[in-house]
Chain A
Amino acid sequence: AQSVTQPDIHITVSEGASLELRCNYSYGATPYLFWYVQSPGQGLQLLLKYFSGDTLVQGIKGFEAEFKRSQSSFNLRKPSVHWSDAAEYFCAVGAITGNQFYFGTGTSLTVIP
């Protein structure tokens, strides 16, 4: 069965510190992987996506993610966090057919000055 696990419900980091958000997936075929960010009262904004090719993908706002097939992981990273990065982050996996995405339960990020 398809599923996405984000083991960290909440993370607090200091502004300027590095960030890594974990995501593990379970999927029976080659996954399409996504990271979305949601600010309070807003919809979801795509940060980055992985379909194939280079396993290190770059996204918007200075985020990157690395696909590791052997670990079924797609962790999100940022070298230096800004206060405006405080939000909810969702990892998602999708199929090659259809737009049915499976989302993790999200990781809430707090940034302290």
Chain B
Amino acid sequence: KAGVTQTPRYLIKTRGQQVTLSCSPISGHRSVSWYQQTPGQGLQFLFEYFSETQRNKGNFPGRFSGRQFSNSRSEMNVSTLELGDSALYLCASSGWTGSNEQFFGPGTRLTVL
């Protein structure tokens, strides 16, 4: 069974631009969660989608948004990029919403210049 895939693996953007990251969960998984990982803040929860609905949201500004498609693939969008948005963005999939084992993808490394 294929694991969680994230594209692209690396991105370089400049301040003010916007970016879209993609995550394909494990086949059959309906829950996708997004995390931001930085050296200073560690791993912080962004949001979770289940069956195309946002179920949980972390404490991030509205510039961070996401969506989930009917095939469970999810996208995360960050608008008006700031230098502080530079991070590793991790996607995790799970069979359902309700704390269970989450399977993480390799992440997308975003660098904002």
Chain A partners chain B? yes
Residue ranges of A at the interface with B (Cβ–Cβ < 8 Å): 32, 34, 36, 41-46, 49, 90, 92, 94-106
Contact B98–A98 (Cβ < 8 Å): yes
Contact A99–B102 (Cβ < 8 Å): yes
Distance from A2 Cβ to chain B, minimum over Cβ atoms (Å): 10
Q: Kindly supply a per-residue 1/0 record for chain B positions 9-49, scoring 1 wherever the CB is within 8 Å of any chain A CB and 0 otherwise.
A: 00000000000000000000001010100000011110010
Name the A residues within 8 Å of B43 (CB-CB).
90, 92, 101, 103, 106
Contact B98–A97 (Cβ < 8 Å): yes
Name the B residues within 8 Å of A99 (CB-CB).
31, 33, 48, 55-56, 92, 94, 97-100, 102
Name the B residues within 8 Å of A97 (CB-CB).
97-99
Contact A103–B42 (Cβ < 8 Å): yes
User: Complex Cα distance A101/B45, Å?
Assistant: 7
What residue of chain A has the Cβ atom nearest to residue B102's Cβ?
A99
Contact B106–A96 (Cβ < 8 Å): no
